[in-house]
Each structure stands twice: as structure tokens, then as C-alpha cells.
Amino acid sequence: MESDKNQEKSFDKNRQKGSKMNRNEILEEYKNQEQRLLAAKILDRLEFSKTKNKIQSTDFLNLNEQELAMKLLKKVDCENYYFFGGKDNTERKILIIYPEKLTEEMSRKNDDKIISIIRIKLPNELEGQYDHRTYLGSCIKIGIEREKIGDILVERTGSDIIAKTEVIDFLYQNLTGLTRFKSSEISIENITEIKDVEVAKVEISAIVASIRLDNIVSTLAKTSRSKAQEILKQERVFLNHQVETKSSKEVKVGDIITIRGKGRFEFKEIAGNTRKGRFVIKIDKYV
């Protein structure tokens, strides 16, 4: 009997050692320090969810980070997860990992405990004067980390700021103290009360030599084609919410292009051609 217990202890130690080695091997695959740190955080939450049988969540992830998370979880054979950002079409989402004893449907009942909304209603005289940058800048100004903020749904009369519930009280207390919002109505809302805001767009017209992705990125980022190719190699470009690094990839009408640091765009139409055979294109920029 004592021998069996010793063997069991030995097995547990070896299993833990093997798990640690696998973790180290996985993390070694990430040469980028930021990616390695994110991967480590995800593995930590996965391990905690398994050992404690509790739901775990990350901060908000951008499209590139969501892609990394999906590949990592596939590598470790984890299927008990989903992404949530308040609505299906939100860009920034948190990763939620749930224990095997739960289903996704059961886990989703806790979504409103993880993220909430700060709703800002502007006074009549300020309607239409604040954009996405204004609201995000206000959150950063009061000391909130970008990772704690999800999408900011802006309309003429104000905005819904999606945020982690853990910072929602701090956001409320400090945003109400800013001069720019002193006449605004600010409230905390349940994520289920999120508005269907029609996203504002600005049309961009341009002339390009071809509809290759590097040409389009060059135009949208207002940089050279060679610099655009570097941006693609850095995995900063998403085509229809997937990382795309191929410069020669042709863009199609209806495609959504996201460039980290530059914004999100929709390829609207090819309006015609110039005498020299260049393309006249129209693109909507989300604002």
C-alpha cells in the first residue's frame, strides 16, 4: 500500500514536471516578448480554470491577440472557451475560459459580471462634437489601461464605453469629474443594455496602381509601398478579421481591412479606371 502511494506521488511529480516542460517549450516558440507574455497569461488562466473549476477571463484583446489565443488554445487541445465583447460585431473581445463541468451556455450567464457599460449622454450643445478618440483619450487620461476598455460605440448624442466590470466604478467616478463631461449624464449599465449604434463612416476616394493589399495599405496608412509591406510582415494588418501578411493578396469589394494604429476600413467599390489603367477606388473608414 505504501509502495502504491509512493508511485502515485512520483507519477504526480513527473506529470507536473512534464506539464511545466511543455509550457516552457510552448512559450519558447514566441520570440516577441509581448506575445510570450500574453501566451503565459492565457496558460495561467487555463491552468487556474482546470485546477479550481472556475471561469477565467483575460483583458480585452485586439484582433491579433485573439488570433494568437486561438492558435495557442488549439495547440493545447482546449475547447472550453469563447470570445465576448458585448456584441457579436465588436472588434475588441475578452477571452473567457470555462471548466469542463460547464457548458458555454452555462458560462455565458456570467458575462454581465465580467464586462459592463459606461453610458455617456451629451448635453444638446455638445452633440456631434466628440468622437472615438475623445472618449478613449478621457479613459486613458484618468489612468485606465487600454486593455481594460473594449469597443467604444459612438453616436451623435454620446457613447457606450464597454469595459471590464472590475474598473467600472473607477471609470464612473473619474469621468464625472472631467470638465468635458461636467454637463453630461453618465451612468453604469448592464452589458445586456448595450445599444445598437450605427457605426459612423467617412468615405475615402483614392487612385491606386492595383488592388493588391500592399497598395491599399499604403494608401490607407499614408505611407510608401515598401513601408506598407513592412506593416504586413509585422502582422499589423487584418483582412476580414484574420491576420494577413501576403502583400500580393487582392482586396475584394466588401472586405474589411484593419490596420493596427490606423483604424478599420471597408473596401466599398471600384469606381472606375484612369486612362493609364489605374484603379479609382472608394473605401469607408470607421470613425
pTM of this structure: 0.77
Domain that holds residue 30: 2-106
Q: Average per-residue pLDDT in the chain?
A: 90
134 and 221 share one domain: no
The number of folded domains in the chain is 3
Distance between CA atoms of 264 and 284, rounded to whole angstroms? 9
pLDDT in tens, 104-144: 999 999 999 999 999 999 999 999 999 888 999 999 999 99
32 and 81 within one domain: yes
Same domain (yes/no): 55, 100: yes
pLDDT at 5 over 70: no
Q: Is the pLDDT of residue 236 over 50?
A: yes
C-alpha cell at position 248:
500580393
pLDDT band at 180 (very low <50, low <70, confident <90, very high): very high
What is the reported pLDDT for 13? 45
Same domain flag for 97 and 17:
yes
Q: Which of 151, 174, 193 is the last residue of a domain?
A: 193
Residue 121 belongs to domain with CATH number: 3.30.70.330
Please give the distance of CA 201 from its chain centroid, rounded to a whole number: 20
Q: Tell me what percent of the residues of the chain surpass a pLDDT of 70.
A: 93
**Boundary-marking domain end, from 106, 135, 158:** 106
Q: Are residues 12 and 97 in the same domain?
A: yes
Residue 37: give its domain's CATH number: 3.30.1370.160
- What's residue 12's pLDDT? 46
Q: Are 173 and 128 in contact (CB under 8 A)?
A: no
Q: Which residue has the cell 487600454?
A: 146
**Between 241 and 166, where is the model more confident?**
166
pLDDT per position as a tens digit, 208-231: 999 999 999 999 999 999 999 999
